[in-house]
Amino acid sequence: MKTSRPEEIVAQFNQLIQNNLNELISGVTDEYLDIHKIADKIHINATHLSNTVKETTGKSPCDICNEKTIDLIKELLATTDLSIAEIAFKLTYEPTNFTKYFKKHTGMLPSVYRSTFRQENT
């Protein structure tokens, strides 16, 4: 089955976001891609990318980036012994901003998430 161009754009967008997050964590890069850099990699205008993602998924590119970032943070908190500061720095955040970001999107502090997750899984 052939995918439509908007679906193809969204798939490329999602893959680039995921690759960027993986490269940040592994230390391959220290640059968090913004919408303009992602659009350049897909060879389209940033506004077109933003509109296509929103129309196709019902979510803004920023919302999708935040979801993927929070999912990765949760995974790292749950499955690694990296300190919260180490996770923050790998994702280009200052630790205080990282804590605020995580709490804004999850309703809890990273340390509370980690301890809660570990208690539930022991």
**For the segment 17-64, what is each residue's pLDDT rounded down to a tens digit?**
999 999 999 999 999 999 999 999 999 999 999 999 999 999 999 999
Per-residue model confidence as pLDDT tens digits over 77-106: 999 999 999 999 999 999 999 999 999 999
CA–CA gap between residue 1 and residue 95 (Å, rounded): 45
Three-class DSSP category at 82: coil
- Please indicate, yes or no, whether the overall pTM of this predicted structure exceeds 0.85: yes
Q: What fold does the segment set 5-117 form as a domain?
A: Arc Repressor Mutant, subunit A (1.10.10)
Structure tokens at 98: 């990282």
Residue 37 Cα distances to 28, 30, 45, 53, 85, angstroms: 17, 14, 10, 15, 26
pLDDT of amino acid 122: 63
Give the amino acid at 8.
Answer: E
